[in-house]
Every structure is written in C-alpha cells, then in structure tokens.
Chains A and B, each alone.
Chain A
Amino acid sequence: MADIALARAPETARQVRQARMLSVGARCALPVAVLLGIGFLAPMVAILAYSFATPRSFDVFRSFTLENFASIFDPTNTVWLSFAWSVGFALFTVAILAVIAYPIAYGLNAVFGRWAGFISVLFVFPLFVSENVRLYGWVLFFIKNGVLDGTLKWLGLPGGPEVLYTPGVTLFGMAYTYLPFMLFPMTLGLALVPRDLVDAARDLGAGRLFIWREIELPLAMPGILIGMLLTFVLAIGATAEAKILGGQSIIVISHDIEIAFTYSQNWPLGSALAVVVSVFIAALTLTALSKLDLDRMLGRR
C-alpha cells in the first residue's frame, strides 16, 4: 500500500504545479463557461431564489416560503387555465405545422435535392424582422377595412371574416411564426432518406403509401421529432400572438408571468410560475430526447 502511495505521489515541484493547473481543454472552455455562468445560470438561480421568497416582496435570499407554489396549485386560482391554453395551443401549433411543413419539406427535397436544406434556410429570413412588427402586419391584413377586408369590399364582395382578436387567429399567428423551426429540421430529416431505398422498396412491389409508411416516414423521423420538439418548446412560451393578434381573447401562461413581474409587481409569484413552466418543459423535453434514439433511428446501432 505504501509503495503505491509513494509511486503515485508527484515527485517534483513541476509535477505538483502541473497537477494543480487545469488541462488545456478546460482552460479553453473557461471563457464560455464563465459566460454561461453569468448569462444563463445566474438568472436561473435568481428566479429559483425569488420563487421561494415572501410573496409581493423583494426579500430574495432572505426569506423562504412555499406560499407562491401553494397559491399556484390552489384550486381557486385560475392560472391553470392559462397553462392549459399554452399547452393546448402549443400542441395544436405542432400538429398544424407537422401537416403543413411535411409536404413543403418533401417538395423542397424533391425539387432542390441536395440544396433543399439551404433553400429551407431562406424560410428563416422573416425572423430577421421583429416578431411584433410581423404580427402587426397581420393585424393590418385582417383588421376591419384592412388589406383583406378592404380589398374584398373594393371588389364589391361582402368583405372579409372578422377573425381578428379571436383564439383562432392566435393559432394562425403561432403557426406562422414557428413554421421555419419545423420546416428546417424536417427538410434535413427528409433529406436523410436515400433515394436508393425508395427505389428498392418500389422494386420489391411496394406502392407509394406503403413506401411512405415503411421507409420514408421512419427514416425521416429524427428530423420530424426534433422539429416538433423545438416548435413545442417555443410555442409553449409564446405571448405576442395571443396579445397582438388574439387581443388577449385568451391569456397564455407567459403572459401571466409577465403580468406578475410588471403590472402586479409580484416577482416571487412570477418566478414560481416560471419555475413550474420550466420544470414542465424540461421534464417533457428530456423524456422525449431520451426516447429519441438518433443513432438507432439512423441505423448506426
């Protein structure tokens, strides 16, 4: 035993110094680690701390109470409704986008082949314009005497439907906003399906629907699932669509959080809500990702 201990002990001062120093990799990663610590971890810690502070106070790190969480889960509190709206609308958005984006992604791959991924990046360009600006654009489009209504009336038609400030148009806005996030991974996913395999399946007697079900869909699944997950996580935190297009006809959870932090100046409650939502999304995402075995789906294992 003693021999081993001796053998392991650093023999020179230089080795001692080296042992105390970080490896090259760790030193290179340090700036990013510091940045993440300050920019990402610190706010999370602050939120977490606030969620346990006395309600309607700024006694962060000095008080500890579960009151905020208790009030959220209090049956008389209707905040669960906002949460349900958010989850429901996020799910709807994912479903709608899956149906819309799949044919587009399929078409992009069929027409542009290898360049399909690049072309689908072009769909991201609208993101360079502020989301609010784009949504107000839709308001102008749908509003009474706006682009749609006005044009129809000018043509002597009865005018457009009054869709503005309804839950339906909120959903439309969400589908519009998150289309690129579904389309891009889906296009890449579909590009993973080798042409040969489709030819081979057809050669073995399979019809179009059978090939889609047995070959194309399973092989494109990694991209489709990542697109769905990304869209869901983004859509569950959406507020602008419900506020601007929906005219607050429904209140989503992020709107509730925003109100708690601004109008009601109840940071602890807002923090607690944020923590609940974050835990929910994180649990969902991690579960989905653990089920999503990319290697197996791509046949590498």
Chain B
Amino acid sequence: MLQTLPAASTAVEAPRLPILQLVGVRKMFGGFAAVEGIDLDVREGEFLTIVGPSGSGKTTLLRMLAGMDTPSEGNITLRGELINDVPPNKRPTCLVFQSLALFPHKSVGENIAFALKVKGADAATRKKRALELMRIVRLPDNYHDKNVMKCSGGERQRVALARAFAYDPEVLFFDEPLSALDYKLKKALEKELKDLHRETGKTFIYITHSLEEAMVMSDRIGVMRAGRLVQVGTPEEIYGAPVDRFVSEFVGEVNTLKMKRVGQQWQGVDVPGTFTLGSPQNGAVLDEAFVVIRPEYMRFLAAGERADNQLKGTVYNEYSLGSRIQYQVRVGSKDAGEKVMLVELSRARALPPGASREVTIGWDAADAFTLGS
C-alpha cells in the first residue's frame, strides 16, 4: 500500500483533523445566553487559549467542554463523536480547576494517583506512576507522602497538573490555574506549562482573563466577549489584525479615534482634522470608522518631518515602563474636542529633558487598524 502512494503526497503533511469541534454551541441560564453561537475547531496537539473579561462566558464554555454543563443548543464532538451529554467521568478530558481542587485528606502521591485508583490499579503501580509523573512536573520524590495542604502554591499547581496527567486525557483544560500566584512564579510556571505541552504533545485548552498569559503560551487564542467568540487566531493575528475595537483594546493599550467619511476624505469626530486611513480589514465600505493605533506606532515628529497623519498636542504626563517610556499627549482643543493620545517610545528615543512639551505626534496609515466597530 505504502509503495503505491505517489511520492508527492507523502511530502505533504496530512491536514490534522480537529480533535474537538464545536458547532453552534449555546448555553442558556434562564433567559440569559451565557454562551452563544460558538463555532470552533480545536486542532490535535495545539495550545488554545480562550481569553475574555470576567463574565464573558469562558468558564461556562469550559464547563461544557469538560462535561460539567450541557449545551442548550449545538453540538460538541470529540474525534467526530457527539459528547454533549457524556458525563465528565466518561470523557477522555481532564480539567485543572482554578481552585486546583486538590483532595486535602490525601497525600501528594494519593492525589496524583487518584485516577489510577479509580481504574483499580494496585498500590505498587500507583506509586510507580505517581513518582514518574512527579518527575515530569518537577516535584521531588520525597513529596510522595507529604500532605498536599503543606505544599506551597507552586507545588500545588504541579500536583494538580500531575493528577490530571495521570488520567491520561486526550485534552486538558485549564481554568485560570495560575491566577492566584505571584508574578514571578506565574511567569516560571507559564514557561513550564508550555514545555510540558511540547513534551507531552497533548491538546491544551486554557482559559484566562490575562492576555499576557495567553500570548506567552498559546498556539492560538480565542477572544470571548459577552458569550461570543469574537476572534480566533494566532497571537500575531490577534495582536496584528484585531477584528474590532474590543479585541484591539483587550490586547493592549491603544489610541482609538472615531472618523466619519466626508466625500473622499475622513474627518475626525473626536478631534478636528482630516486623516488618511488604511483600507478596512475585509474591504468593507464604511461611512464611519474607528482608527486604532498602538502607542508604540506613534512617534514625535521633528520640524520638517512628515507622517501620513499628524496632530499637535501637549505632553502632560510621562511614565517609565522600564525599557520604554509612555507619554500622555493632549491633542485637539477645548472647543473642537480634546483627546489624550498615548505615545510609547524606547528609552533611547525619549524626548530630551529640556525639550518643549508642545509636540507634533504622527503615525502612518499602514501602522493603524481601520475598524468598522
């Protein structure tokens, strides 16, 4: 069989089938749709993060994926099999809880080997596997008999992770497990989680409200807002081509200016002036648009220097962001409309100490997004 295959087709990697597929998934609580119209393909082995502000429905979505809630409408399929009503203990998926939900009356080893005990493995097998998993998550062997409540926050994360791995799930879900940790530990564990993902090759679905966390770890990010999945894409796509203002603002600080079309020109609504805009993302013809410029794409213009768009303003505040400096610049005038614009520069290009606070800021049309909503 293999020999009959044409050489060309072996060179092309077979498209990976989605492991999890959501079609028109909706969850109602009374008359309120917590989650609505979710269509999503999760690829096998990918690290997908769902981000959204609290109340955006991401936890509800995750609970449906894990089997703790059932969708009111729509289908969830795992490897082509409908799993809408399959209870969590019959699904090859495992959730790492936000609270971690470690069993306080069990030792580290007993916690980790819980899934094996369910399957009826004997004590020796359980201990052997628990120790293996403890090495994978970098827990010392002598923790096997330690009371899990005596472990530190970071250690508990590892126990929860090892416990989930012991179930040998096809898909692992994470419900903001790192949210309670301090910044430094969180950063270290993010990296470890990413390493574990690569080492195990499992499919990870992670939810968080922190886009920073999502950016670091994910292959793809889904942004949720008010129960809907607004955009799904790689971190670069989310950052570089947000579909709307919500996504662009969620990703980081932005300058947003409202524009209206007057003939062939764009007039500012918030601040007076005529502006040059890039073409909208999907080529839509707009009468009203929002132009979104990231602070790092703004610059101060020296006398004679030009940019596609420019505004005169006054620097009234500046913050050090470490290697970068952020300026708050008030543009426009009291009568015609005022707006604070953010300009972020590397320290090397900062305004000299004695420089005038009266500045001209500018940006090129290609560096900004033109969004319809």
Real complex partners, A and B? yes
**Contact of A206 with B118 in the complex, beta carbons under 8 Å:** yes
Pairwise interchain contact B103-A215, C-beta atoms closer than 8 A: yes
Whether A197 and B103, one on each chain, are in contact in the complex, defined by CB atoms closer than 8 angstroms, is: yes
- Whether A204 pairs with B97 at a CB distance below 8 angstroms is no
| Given A218-B105, A301-B147: A203 touches B99 (CB 8 Å cut-off) | no
Per-residue A-contact encoding for B90-123, CB less than 8 Å = 1, 0 else: 0001110101010111000000001101110000
Q: Is the CB of A219 within 8 A of B104?
A: yes
Shortest A222–chain B CB gap in Å is: 10
What is the bound-complex CA distance between A197 and B117, given in angstroms?
A: 16
Interface hit among A18-26, A140-148, A292-300: A292-300
B94/A297 in contact, CB under 8 A: no
Interface code B161-174, partner A: CB below 8 Å = 1, 0 otherwise?
00110110000000
CB distance from A98 to the nearest CB of B (A): 20
CA distance A203 to B167 in the complex (A): 9
The 8 Å CB contact of B94, one of A204, A210, A300, is A204
Chain A at the B interface: SS class: helix
Which of B94, B104, B147, B150 is within 8 Å of A203, CB to CB? B94
A194 contacts partner chain B, Cβ-Cβ < 8 Å: yes
Contact of A219 among B95, B101, B105, B150 (CB under 8 A): B105
Residues of A near B149 (CB, < 8 A) are: 299-301
Chain B residues, CB < 8 A from A301: 147, 149-150
Give complex CA distance A200, B103 in Å: 9
Q: What residues on A are CB-neighbors of B67 within 8 Å? A: 203
Contact with B along A257-301 (1 / 0, CB 8 A): 000000000000000000000000000000000000000011111
Q: How far is the CA of A204 from the CA of B149 in the complex (A)?
A: 20
CB of A74 within 8 A of chain B? no
Are B105 and A205 in contact, with the CB atoms below 8 A? no
Which A residues contact B (CB, under 8 angstroms)? 194, 196-197, 199-207, 210, 214-215, 218-219, 297-301
B residues bordering A, Cβ < 8 Å? Answer: 66-68, 87-89, 93-95, 97, 99, 101, 103-105, 114-115, 117-119, 147-150, 163-164, 166-167
What 16 additional pairs, Cβ within 8 angstroms, besides A207-B89, A299-B148? A196-B97, A197-B101, A199-B68, A200-B95, A200-B101, A203-B88, A203-B93, A204-B118, A205-B115, A205-B118, A205-B119, A205-B167, A215-B103, A219-B104, A219-B105, A301-B149
| Listed A/B pairs (8) with beta-carbon separation below 8 Å | A194-B99, A196-B97, A200-B95, A201-B103, A202-B87, A204-B89, A214-B117, A301-B150
